[in-house]
C-alpha cells in the first residue's frame, strides 16, 4: 500500500495554493494558481475588485471555484495520485464570506463528475457573486452601530475578542441589497466554503475563523444571539448554520464527484478548514515563538496558552479562539498595508526589482539617516482607517520628527520596512500574555519571508533570531495539511486527542535565517518612541480630515 498523503488547500488573497504532506509532515508537492495571472478574465487586481462603493473590496466567488478546478488539473498533470490522499483540510483568507442561494444544497449534493465545479455551481448556487473580503473598509457605520448596541468597543472586544472592524463578517453591509440577502440560504466563511465543495454539503464554520466575525462569544466558542440579532436580524441565526467546530474536526468523506472525476479514495476524510492565520499557527508555532506572516497582509501572531488568568481583550488587537485547543487563544495584530505597499515602494523607487530594493535598504544605516515614511495606500487597520503617505525627518539630532513633503528617492525602501516593523514592536509588549514564555524566536512566513534583507531587518529590529520553515514559505497551506492529518490520525483510534501528541514524533523543520545584531537592536530600541510620535501625527491629521 502506498504511503498516505494529506492535502492542505489555502485560498488566500492573491492565490489558491495546494500542498501535500506525507505522514511525517514532509512537504511532497505544492501547487498554486494566481488569480490575476492564471484567471485574468475576472479582471482582479491582486485577487480583488475595488468598488463600486467607497471602500468596498470583493472577489468573484466564481474565480475561487475556477481556481479550484484549475489547481486539481495542475495536480493531475503533475502526476499526483489522488487516491493516496487520506484527508483534506485547509485555510482561507479570514473574514471573507460566501453567500449560497436556496438551490445551493441541491447543486452541491448532485455534482456530475463529467462537469467542472464552475459549470455546475456558477451562477445559480450563489446569491451574491462578489464576496466581500478582508480588505473591505466600507462598513464603518455598521461597526459603530454594533458597538453601540453592545455597550462600546471594549464591551464588544471583551465578548467577541475584537472591537468592531470594517472587515469583520458580522459587520458586512446587507442593507443596500435586501433581495440578495433574502435569497441567501446559508453564509459561509472562505474557510467553510472550501470544505463544502469537498463534502457536497454546506460545512459548519470553524471556531478560530469564527472569531473574525464579531458574532461568536470567544470564551464559549458559541454564536451569541445578541450579535446575530444586531448584525443580521432574526434570520442570520439560520443562515450562519450550526455552532462552530474546532479545526481538524472530521466532517465527513469526500462527495462522489471527487471520487469519480479525480480518483479520490471514497474514504478520504474532509476536515474543517480554518483561517489562514490560525492555520499558520498550527504549522509554525511552538511556545516562545512569535510568528510574523508577510503575505498580502502583515500579521503578527502569538499563541496564548491555556491559563487561569483569561487573556486580556484589547481594542487594538484581536483575540482568536485557538483552532485545535479549546482552552487556548491566539493574539493577532493585522495590517492591511503589507506586501502591496512594499511592492508599490519597490515599483516607484527601485525599478520594480526586489534586488535593487534590498540594495537601497542595506546601503542606509539602521534609523535611515533620520528619514521616516509611513505608507498607507489602503485604509489601514492599525491605526484604524488612516490613508496616504506621510514623511518625517529627525535630522537635527533630536528624536522629535518634523513632517516633510518628500524623502530622497533612495530612502523609501528602508523607511517602509522600518515603519512597518516598528509599528508592531511598539505593540508587542502589550499583547504578550503574562504567562507567556519569553520570546525566543521570530518565525517568518508568507511571500516576503523569502527576502533575505527583510529577514535580517526583522531579526535586528525585534532582537530575536529569525527562522523560516525549511521546505516551504506556505505556512497556511501546511497548517491545513496538518489539520487533515490530525483528523485522519484521530479517526484511527478514538483515544487519540491532542494535536501536540500527533506532532510529538515529527522532526522540527525550521532553519535559522538571521541572527540579531545587538548594537542594531539597541538603535531600534531607541526609535520606537519616535515611530509612535510619527504615527500619532498621522492619526491626528487623518482624524481632522
The site for ligand ADP (CB under 6 A) is made up of: 12-15, 295-296, 339-340, 342-343, 354, 446-448, 450-451
Stretch that binds ligand 5SP, among 89-97, 151-159, 248-256, 349-357 (CB under 6 A): 89-97
Of 334 and 513, nearer to ligand 5SP (C-beta) is 334
Shortest CB 523 distance to ligand ADP, Å: 23
Question: Is 119 within 8 Å of 113 (Cβ atoms)?
Answer: no
Query: Choosing among ligand ADP, ligand 5SP, none, which partner's interface includes residue 451 (Cβ < 5 to 8 Å by kind)?
Result: ligand ADP
Residue 378 Cβ, how far from ligand ADP at the closest point, in Å? 13
Q: How far apart are CA 331 and CA 314, in angstroms?
A: 10
What is the C-alpha to C-alpha distance for residues 87 and 529, in angstroms, rounded to an integer? 49
Closest approach of ligand 5SP to the CB of residue 445, in Å: 9
Instruction: Output the smallest distance, CB 82 to ligand ADP, in A.
Output: 24
Stretch near ligand 5SP under the rule CB under 6 A, chosen from 79-87, 270-278, 485-493, 517-525: 270-278
> What is the smallest separation between the CB atom of 92 and ligand 5SP, expressed in angstroms?
8
Q: How far is the CB of 208 from ligand 5SP (least distance, A)?
A: 11
Cell numbers given for 193: 466554503
Q: Is 295 in the site for ligand 5SP (CB under 6 A)?
A: yes
C-alpha distance from residue 29 to each of 81, 258, 293, 333, 352 (Å) = 11, 19, 22, 31, 30
The footprint of ligand 5SP on residues 327-346 (CB under 6 A) is 334
Q: Which residue is nearest to ligand ADP (CB)?
A: 447
Question: Cis omega (within 30 of 0) on the bond before 260?
Answer: no
Query: In this structure, what are the phi and psi dihedrals at residue 144, rounded to the nearest 5 degrees?
Result: -65, -35
Work out what residue 258 binds among ligand 5SP, ligand ADP, none; the CB cut-off runs from 5 to 8 Å by kind.
Answer: none
| CA 271/CA 289 separation, integer angstroms | 26
Partner whose footprint covers residue 167, from ligand ADP, ligand 5SP, none (CB < 5 to 8 Å by kind): ligand 5SP
- Shortest distance (Å) from residue 295 CB to ligand ADP: 3
Residue number, 38 or 265, with CB nearest to ligand ADP: 38
* Closest residue by Cα to residue 206 from 488, 445, 18, 480: 480
Q: From 451, 295, 444, select the one nearest 358 (Cα to Cα).
A: 451
Residue 343 interaction partner, one of ligand 5SP, ligand ADP, none, beta carbon < 5-8 Å per kind: ligand ADP
172 is an interface residue for ligand 5SP by CB under 6 A: no
How many residues does this entry show for the chain?
Answer: 545
Q: Copy the grid coordinates of residue 359.
A: 540594495
User: Measured from the CB of residue 293, what is the shortest distance to ligand 5SP in angstroms?
Assistant: 6
Contact call for residue 93 and ligand 5SP (CB under 6 A): yes
- Verify binding: residue 277, ligand 5SP, rule CB under 6 A: yes
379 interacts with ligand 5SP by CB under 6 A: no
Of 95 and 261, nearer to ligand 5SP (C-beta) is: 95
CA neighbor of 168 nearest in space, from 136, 124, 199, 197: 136
Measured between alpha carbons, how far is 209 from 98 in angstroms, rounded to an integer?
14
Burial of 148-180, coded b for 16+ CB within 10 Å and e otherwise, reads ebbeebeebbbbbbbbbbbbbbbbbbbeeeeee
DSSP letters along 106-159, please?
Answer: HHHHT--TTS-HHHHHTTTTEEESEEE-TT----HHHHHHHHHHHTSHHHHHHH
Q: Which stretch binds ligand 5SP (CB under 6 A): 31-39, 218-226, 272-280, 431-439?
A: 272-280
For CA atoms 429, 431, 433, 439, the dihedral sign is negative
Contact residues: ligand 5SP, CB under 6 A: 12-13, 93-95, 134, 167, 212, 275-277, 295-297, 299, 334
Amino acid at each position: 500500500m502506498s504511503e498516505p498523503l494529506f492535502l492542505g488547500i489555502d485560498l488566500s488573497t492573491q492565490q489558491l495554493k495546494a500542498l501535500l504532506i506525507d505522514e511525517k509532515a514532509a512537504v511532497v508537492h505544492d501547487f498554486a494558481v494566481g488569480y490575476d495571472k492564471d484567471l485574468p478574465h475576472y479582471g482582479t487586481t491582486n485577487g480583488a475588485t475595488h468598488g463600486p462603493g467607497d471602500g468596498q473590496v470583493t472577489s468573484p466567488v466564481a474565480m475561487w471555484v475556477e481556481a479550484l478546478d484549475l489547481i486539481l488539473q495542475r495536480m493531475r498533470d503533475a502526476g499526483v495520485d489522488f487516491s493516496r490522499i487520506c484527508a483534506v483540510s485547509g485555510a482561507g483568507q479570514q473574514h471573507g464570506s460566501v453567500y449560497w442561494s436556496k438551490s445551493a444544497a441541491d447543486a452541491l449534493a448532485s455534482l456530475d463528475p463529467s462537469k467542472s465545479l464552475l459549470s455546475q455551481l456558477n451562477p445559480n448556487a450563489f446569491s451574491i457573486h462578489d464576496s466581500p473580503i478582508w480588505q473591505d473598509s466600507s462598513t464603518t457605520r455598521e461597526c459603530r452601530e454594533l458597538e453601540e448596541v453592545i455597550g462600546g468597543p471594549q464591551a464588544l472586544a471583551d465578548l467577541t475578542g475584537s472591537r468592531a472592524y470594517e472587515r469583520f463578517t458580522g459587520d458586512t453591509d446587507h442593507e443596500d441589497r435586501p433581495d440578495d440577502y433574502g435569497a441567501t440560504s446559508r453564509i459561509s466563511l472562505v474557510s467553510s466554503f472550501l470544505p463544502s465543495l469537498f463534502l457536497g454539503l454546506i460545512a459548519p464554520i470553524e471556531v478560530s475563523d469564527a472569531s473574525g466575525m464579531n458574532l461568536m462569544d470567544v470564551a464559549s466558542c458559541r454564536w451569541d444571539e445578541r450579535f446575530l440579532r444586531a448584525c443580521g436580524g432574526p434570520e442570520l441565526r439560520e443562515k450562519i448554520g450550526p455552532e462552530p467546530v474546532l479545526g481538524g474536526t472530521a466532517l465527513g468523506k469526500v462527495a462522489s464527484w471527487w471520487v469519480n472525476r479525480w480518483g479520490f479514495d471514497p474514504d478520504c476524510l474532509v476536515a474543517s478548514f480554518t483561517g489562514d492565520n490560525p492555520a499558520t499557527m498550527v504549522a509554525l508555532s511552538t511556545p516562545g515563538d512569535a510568528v510574523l506572516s508577510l503575505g498580502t497582509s502583515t500579521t503578527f501572531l502569538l499563541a496564548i496558552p491555556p491559563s487561569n488568568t483569561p487573556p486580556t481583550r484589547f481594542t487594538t488587537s484581536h483575540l482568536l479562539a485557538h483552532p485545535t485547543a479549546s482552552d487556548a487563544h491566539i493574539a493577532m495584530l493585522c495590517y492591511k498595508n503589507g506586501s502591496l505597499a512594499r511592492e508599490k515602494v519597490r515599483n516607484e523607487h527601485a525599478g520594480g526589482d526586489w534586488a535593487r530594493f534590498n540594495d537601497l535598504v542595506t546601503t542606509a544605516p539602521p534609523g535611515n539617516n533620520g528619514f521616516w515614511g509611513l505608507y498607507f495606500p489602503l485604509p489601514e487597520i492599525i491605526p484604524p482607517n488612516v490613508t496616504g503617505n506621510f514623511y518625517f525627518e529627525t535630522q537635527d539630532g533630536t528624536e522629535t520628527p518634523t513632517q516633510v513633503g518628500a524623502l530622497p528617492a533612495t530612502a523609501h525602501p528602508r523607511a517602509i520596512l522600518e515603519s512597518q516593523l516598528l509599528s508592531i514592536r511598539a505593540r508587542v509588549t502589550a499583547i504578550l500574555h503574562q504567562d507567556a514564555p519569553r520570546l525566543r524566536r521570530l518565525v517568518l512566513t508568507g511571500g516576503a519571508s523569502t527576502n533575505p534583507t527583510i529577514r535580517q531587518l526583522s531579526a535586528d529590529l525585534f532582537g530575536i533570531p529569525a527562522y523560516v520553515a525549511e521546505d516551504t514559505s506556505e505556512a497556511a497551506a501546511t497548517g491545513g495539511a496538518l489539520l487533515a492529518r490530525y483528523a485522519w490520525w484521530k479517526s484511527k483510534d478514538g483515544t487519540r486527542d491532542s494535536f501536540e501528541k500527533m506532532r510529538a514524533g515529527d522532526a522540527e523543520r525550521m532553519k535559522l535565517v538571521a541572527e540579531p545584531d545587538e548594537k542594531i537592536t539597541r538603535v531600534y530600541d531607541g526609535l520606537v518612541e519616535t515611530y509612535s510620535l510619527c504615527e500619532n501625527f498621522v492619526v491626528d491629521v487623518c482624524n481632522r480630515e
